[in-house]
Each structure stands twice: as C-alpha cells, then as structure tokens.
Amino acid sequence: MTKQVVIVGGGVIGLLTAFNLAAEVEQVVLCDKGEVGKESSWAGGGIVSPLYPWRYSPAVTALAHWSQDFYPQLGERLFASTGVDPEVHTTGLYWLDLDDEDEALAWAAREGRPLSAVDIAQAYAAVPVLGSGFGRAIYMSGVANVRNPRLVKSLKAALQALPNVVLKEHCEITGFSREGETITGVETASGAIAADRVVLTAGAWSGELLGTLGLNLPVEPVKGQMILYKCAADFLPSMVLANGRYAIPRRDGHILVGSTLEHCGFDKAPTEDALESLKASAVELLPALADATPVAHWAGLRPGSPEGIPYIGEVPGWQGLWLNCGHYRNGLVLAPASCQLFADLLLGRAPIIDPSPYAPAGRL
C-alpha cells in the first residue's frame, strides 16, 4: 500500500485528487502556495460543459461526459457530509447564431447528447430577457453549472474532516527531493516533505515546477477575466452563449459574464479594457443589465495546454512523480473524471476510460 502521497496544488483538481485517494492510502499531504482553491478554480464560471464541446478532441469529450453524469451525485455527497452545498444548478444552455451549428448538431447526433436546434421564438419565450437580433439557437438540456467557490469550500471541509489528510496552505514547493531517478518528496522553505508518490496538480504553475527537473511541460498561463451582477433570483432561467461570451445564472440571482482569453504570462490584474468589453457583451446578451453595475470583476489564470488535453499519469523517467494538470479551460468540467482516472492509475485499478490520450509519455 502507498503510505504517503504529497499533492502539489490545491485547486479543484488537487482537492478532488486528495479526496479520491484518502480512503486508499495511509496519508495524503496537500500543499498550496496560497489558500486552497483560490486561483482558477475560484475564478472560473463553472459551466459543467466545454463551451463548444464539438470543437474538442474525443479525449476531452470522454472526460467531459463522465464528469457531467457524475456531478449531481458529487454535489449531493459533499453537501450531505459538509453542509456546504456546491450548488450544481441544472439550467440548460442556449448557443446563439453559431457559425458551426451544423457541426454541433452532427456531433450531438454522433455522441448521443441532448442538443438540438430550436426555433428562435422558442428561445426568446424561454429566456425573455435575451437581447434582440439573434436569428438562430441550439439548446442542450441537462447542462448544469457548479458554484465553484462553494465547491472548493465543500471539498476543503470534506478533507479537513479526514484524519489522514493534512492541508498545508501558504506552503510553496520549490523543487523535488530525489534519489537518482526516483522522486522521494518535495522541497519547501521550511524543509523537505517525504513521499512515496508526488502528484503535480499546480494548474498554470505546473510547467514551472516540472522545469526544475529539466522537463518541458507545455502548460502555460492563459488569463481570463469575468464580471458579476446581482439580479432577481428568477432573472435568467438558462445559461446563454453568443459571440464567445456567456452568461451564467446562480440560484440566488447572481449572473456571471465571461470571459476573456489573454496570453500575458502570470499577470492576473483585472483591466479596464476587459471590464468595458465584458459589460458590452453582458448588455448584448441581456439588455436589462445596461442599468446595472457589476458587483465584482476579477481575473484568473487557466493552465493552457495543447488541444486542452490534460496530462494524467506517471512522468516517464522519474519514478514516483505523477501529473494531473493542464486542463486549460475545462478544469471544473473535467475534474471528477480526471481525478477518478488518476486514482485508478495510481492505485493500479481498471481505469474508467482509456488513459492513453492523457499519458505524459511522449507529450513532454
């Protein structure tokens, strides 16, 4: 039995990895350079679907489908055990005036997903606050959003209740301990932490950490900015998406509008230009927001990766070092499947899906 696993990075991927491993190993130590769940896991919108699922590879689709089916029971389990409801909120999603609508419908037919073209009048009847001028709509029922700050709060509470899990916040990892080509732990400012297995789940920072071993992991920060409004609880009954921007309703009437896609390194300062662009998109989608002032505006850093396919598995050439990172725009979407697949691989169980597309071997 694996005795001690050290997980580097406490976003939703790291937290759920720890949650899945805790019953199977003697001890889990999760380290984060700040507070857990405060980077991209907190900053994202939480739509439990890739924004344009038909544009992704089958590798992303496989993880997304498994996760979408699993999220409701994950939310219920966490709520029951912690009292913190992640609010998995099923609203469905309307895409408006898509250029590649035919491809979307063909994908849905091929994958058996509940996405279909609807008359635009039907979309306006379902979402009366929708902006005028849209001519076409497709709709997928069953699409949920998860209130991601509450999800990470719930996962943290679940881990704190487990006697064999240690959360080390404000604990920056500076490198890896090693004996020859075996990773034996991690290095921190206050000393080394020994481990049988080290798991890198550090999001946009994963590439920098793996670079300390001379490995090139093509994961880079991609900035995204969001704004938040507060409306009546029944203001927006469904998620809507047009021209690359979306509006997401929470159960209490908060409306998230996002997001930008910016390649500017590790700078995550919100900008005035992005604020004005997001407000314009908000008004285009939902004109009633013209008279509202955003109650919040923030930015986060996504872990950009080639084709958005995450790295899940052991690092070749370094025994004991494992990856679960590089989920790009879909960390919250893919987390349940990614973390279940990861646990299967680390523990030597039959994997839930074919693990080969995510294997680090040949991709570093």
Check whether residue 106 and residue 181 sit in a common domain: no
Q: What are the structure tokens assigned to 318, written together? A: 């370094």
Check whether residue 207 and residue 324 sit in a common domain: yes
Check whether residue 230 and residue 188 sit in a common domain: no
Distance CA 60, CA 307 (A): 9
Q: What is each CA distance from 259 to 44, 86, 129, 152, 203, in whole angstroms? A: 9, 21, 20, 20, 18
The count of structural domains within the chain is: 2
57 in any annotated domain:
no
Check whether residue 205 and residue 319 sit in a common domain: yes
Q: What are the structure tokens assigned to 306, written together? A: 């080639």
Check whether residue 224 and residue 300 sit in a common domain: yes
Identify the CATH number of the domain in which residue 311 sits.
Answer: 3.50.50.60
Distance CA 188, CA 30 (A): 13
- Beta partners for residue 300, in sequence order: 224
Instruction: State residue 42's pLDDT score.
Output: 95
Check whether residue 110 and residue 238 sit in a common domain: yes
66 in any annotated domain:
no
Final residue of a structural domain among 304, 320, 337 = 304
pLDDT band for position 206 (50/70/90)?
Answer: very high
Check whether residue 108 and residue 166 sit in a common domain: no
**What would the pLDDT profile of 316-343 be if each residue is shown by its tens digit?**
999 999 999 999 999 999 999 999 999 9
10 in any annotated domain:
yes
CB 39 within 8 Å of CB 326: no
* pLDDT higher than 90, residue 2: no
Check whether residue 228 and residue 297 sit in a common domain: yes
Check whether residue 224 and residue 294 sit in a common domain: yes
294 in any annotated domain:
yes
Instruction: State residue 189's pLDDT score.
Output: 87
Identify the CATH number of the domain in which residue 269 sits.
Answer: 3.30.9.10
* pLDDT higher than 70, residue 258: yes
Arithmetic mean of pLDDT, 215-228: 96
Arithmetic mean of pLDDT, 90-100: 97
Check whether residue 277 and residue 351 sit in a common domain: no
61 in any annotated domain:
no
Check whether residue 199 and residue 322 sit in a common domain: yes
Final residue of a structural domain among 260, 288, 304 = 304
Preceding omega of 338 cis (within 30 degrees of 0): no
* pLDDT higher than 70, residue 1: no
CB atoms within 10 A of CB 73: 11
* pLDDT higher than 70, residue 43: yes
**Helix 58-82 and helix 331-347: axis angle, to 10°?**
90
CB 80 within 8 Å of CB 154: no
Check whether residue 112 and residue 233 sit in a common domain: yes
What is the model's pTM?
Answer: 0.96
83 in any annotated domain:
no
Distance CA 90, CA 80 (A): 19
191 in any annotated domain:
yes
Arithmetic mean of pLDDT, 74-86: 97
Final residue of a structural domain among 289, 304, 319 = 304
**What would the pLDDT profile of 292-313 be if each residue is shown by its tens digit?**
999 999 999 999 999 999 999 9
For residue 203, what are the domain limits? 4-45+150-218+307-358
3-state secondary structure the chain: CCCEEEEECCCHHHHHHHHHHCCCCCEEEEECCCCCCCCHHHHCCCECCCCCHHHCCHHHHHHHHHHHHHHHHHHHHHHHHHCCCCCEEECCEEEECCCCHHHHHHHHHHHCCCEEEECHHHHHHHCCCCCCCCCCEEEECCCEEECHHHHHHHHHHHHHCCCCEEEECCCCEEEEEEECCEEEEEEECCEEEECCEEEECCHHHHHHHHHCCCCCCCCEEEEEEEEEEECCCCCCCCEEEECCEEEEECCCCEEEEECCCECCCCCCCCCHHHHHHHHHHHHHHCHHHHHCCCCEEEEEEEEECHHHCCEEEECCCCECEEEEECCHHHHHHHHHHHHHHHHHHHHCCCCCCCCHHHCCCCCC
The position carrying tokens 């994908």 is: 107
Instruction: State residue 160's pLDDT score.
Output: 98
156 in any annotated domain:
yes
